[in-house]
Structure 1
Amino acid sequence: MTVAPVIALDVMGGDGGPAVTIAAAEIARTRHPEIRFRLYGREDAIRAELAKAPLVARDAVVVHTDGEILGTDKPSQVLRRARQSSMGLAVDAVKAGEAHAAVSAGNTGALMAIAKLGLRTMPGIDRPALAALLPTAKNDSVMLDLGANAECDSENLVQFAVMGAAFARTVLGLATPRVALLNIGEEDLKGTDELKHAAALLRSADLPMQFAGFVEGDKIGRGDVDVIVSDGFSGNIALKTAEGTARLVVELLTRAFKSSIFSMFGFFMSRGALRSLRSHLDPNAHNGAVFLGLNGLVVKSHGGATAQGFANAIRVAHDLVVDDIAHRIREDLDNFQAHRTAPPAVQAAQ
């Protein structure tokens, strides 16, 4: 992209509010001086934090609103007052072309509802999907959908695979990411009809990806594939299970090292390795989930993200804007549809 990316921030979203959001913007501006920000929220609170963030304050556009979306708000309540909220205004900025992407740490369900209603889906995409990075034993992997769609058919899963591969090529820098469908077994006969049909379609597709078939939940952490595709129900369970397991590992290690004087000595000797483990499993290091398939970019940050974590979400938005993820997705979908043929299993059934 030749123009400087403009990022709209929901300053009031998340547990940390303006203090975390503006500090994160300052970190992001240090990393990417070309970024420009539009800041939505209570102007007095924003101005107070901008006094500590000279790089952002230099040319940020501040848009005042008293409206906020709370974590307890239901989507039906949110949509009635979306246009007066900091979250809704940030998404509207993308729709109006005033910003290239919006980033919020607010209510996930509310952000999903506002983004879907305001931006609509891209041509060729039936439903948007929520994608995020997961740490593995090797490198990070992309997983989607993580909760936007509880039930999906084979066409939805194929579209998710196309979008996930484009996301991995941008954020992970992979030319031909390895893509797999989450299933209860790796064998071709396992799983629902939707999964089997989606697998057949992907095997016959001519796309910049390597289709690796099925992957089981216990293999996600190995990092053998770069993109894991699932319906939102299963994907959200897998994500929460992985996050809970990571916290469990850290908690058990902490207890073990405190159990005796010898264990504490072992902790002292292992501090470097443990810091590396904690950093690898830290959600802030992988922060920034994306609603893929919309006519505009919306990035969701963890509600409890630190300034460094929120800055990572801004980085994701920056990279997707610069690499023009929407163009990549449209190009891949058009190519898939143009060369699409019925897979052998489908042809045999006709």
Structure 2
Amino acid sequence: MIRISIDLMGGDHGPNVIVPGVARALERHPDIRFTLFGLEAECRPILEKFPALRQASTFVPCEVAVSMDDKPSQALRRGRNRSSMWRAIDAVKTDDADVCVSAGNTGALMAMSKFCLRTMANIDRPAIAAIWPTLRGESIVLDVGATIGADAQQLIDFTVMGAAMARALFETDKPTVGLLNIGVEEVKGQEEIKVAGRLIREAAMPSFDYYGFVEGDDIGKGTVDVVVTEGFAGNIALKTAEGTARQIAGYLRAAMSRTLMARIGYFFARSAFDLLREKMDPGKVNGGVFLGLNGIVIKSHGGADVDGFAAAVDVGYDMVRNGLKSKIEHDLVLYHTRRSALAAPDDGGTSN
């Protein structure tokens, strides 16, 4: 049995979308037991429409809902111990849930998650990992906006955590990992990226293959399973891809409405165009994962529909089922052990 806590009040549509989304995820995974947190007056009437979900869940009424435009500091002051978001996260801390899923305010969710769960040992900063559509299927890109800037060690931490997530999500034994850079040559890029690349290559981790540097166009190509960068560049890449997807969709709609024949063609091909738009938009591949915390938190897209939120629950389910947290902890220990061995002075074999 996998236990998932849900913030019912998050996202653009709140329980009207999230409750049906949770019910749909339950249809796919009947071994889930949910703890649902929300405002009783808004959530109870909707829950009544889903008897199977009521049987498989516990509803916990809360006093506060964090709004999508709350600043993280405001959300912490107003919602600590009282909001549906905080209590869903806290359920993971108290071991009443294995994973938390929320479509709420990203800044507030990260602030509350860091405050409540704390970061893992040897991790300075958590990261948000996005699942990215590519020509080869899907890749993982991190960090896409948890924090701005990163030194070499933090990039290495992101690499180890992203590779562990790829093993849990894609069920591959040895994913490929690349550092996002302005060129593939070893001499290019900022010093922290070059140092991180050298140290990762020297560590020769058995849990992933280090590909080297990758460029922006490699993300969409699917050149590697995991693309690592700091939050500023990662968030710009994410928003650029989302905007490009909407731009191309706009071009298609304009082109398809110019003539009667084009409109007729669009009518018959509309589902294919909708699928193309969703495939191109990383924001629609739902379920960003907060990595580096003492617990698993999944961030659903705020504008997700029923299927989108169900997909975010699926990601949380897979992360628990495939042991994401233990994989990260194991790989972090292994990396630091290898680095310590490489850094140890060579005594020429004379020590006893």
TM-score range, shorter chain: over 0.9
Q: What is the match of residue 261 of structure 1?
A: 260
Q: Matches of residues 168-247 of structure 1 in structure 2 within 5 Å?
A: 168-207=166-205, 208-247=207-246
Return the letter of the residue paired with 1:106: G
Give the match's secondary structure for 1:186.
coil
Given that residues 284 and 306 in structure 1 are in contact (C-alpha distance below 8 angstroms), is that contact kept between their aligned partners in structure 2?
no
Cα distance, 1:68 vs. partner? 1.1
Mapping for residues 98-137 of structure 1, pairs under 5 Å: 98-137=96-135
Match of 2:304 in 1: 305
Question: Equivalent residue of 2:100, what SS?
Answer: strand
| Count of matched residue pairs | 342
1:30 aligns with 2:27: yes
Q: Distance between the aligned counterparts of 2:265 and 2:46, measured in 1?
A: 43
State the Cα deviation string for residues 147-196 of structure 1 (Å, max 9, x = none): 11101100000010011011111112222111111111111111111000
Match of 1:69 among 50, 66, 71: 66
Q: Residue by residue, what CA displacement relative to the aligned partner does 1:65-96 show, whole Å, maximum 9, x if unpaired?
A: 12111122111112112211110111111111
Percent identity of equivalent pairs:
48
Instruction: Give the distance between the partners of 1:93 and 1:138, measured in 2 at CA.
Output: 37
Worse-superposed segment, 269-278 or 213-222: 269-278
**Structure 1 unaligned residues grouped into runs of 5+:** 345-350
Is this contact kept in 1: 2:201–2:210, CA < 8 A? yes
Specify every segment of 5 or more residues in structure 2 that has no aligned partner in the other structure, as ranges. Answer: 344-352
Distance 1:282 1:23, change over 3 A: farther
TM-score by length of 2: 0.92
1:250 Cα deviation after fit:
1.3
Q: Tell me which of 17, 26, 35 is aligned to 2:14.
A: 17
Aligned mate of 2:42, from 38, 41, 45: 45
Report if the CA contact (8 A) 2:3-2:35 is conserved. Answer: yes
Tell me, yes or no, if the aligned pair for 2:284 and 2:301 is still in contact at 8 Å. no
C-alpha contact 2:166 2:175 (8 A) present in aligned 1: yes
Measure the CA separation in 2 of the matches of 1:325 and 1:131. 13
**What's the offset of the Cα at 1:30?**
0.3
Name the CA distance, whole Å, in 2 between partners of 1:214 and 1:252: 33
> Do the aligned partners of residues 272 and 64 (structure 1) sit closer, same or farther apart at CA in structure 2, a change above 3 Å counting?
closer
Match of 1:147 among 145, 164, 168: 145
8 Å Cα contact 2:242/2:283 also seen in 1: no
What TM-score do you get using the length of structure 1 for normalisation? Answer: 0.93
CA deviation string 1:260-318 (max 9, x = no partner): 23434554675564354234235575101111010011111111110110111111111
Query: Structure 1 residues 269 and 302 mapped into 2: Cα distance closer, same or farther (>3 Å)?
Result: closer
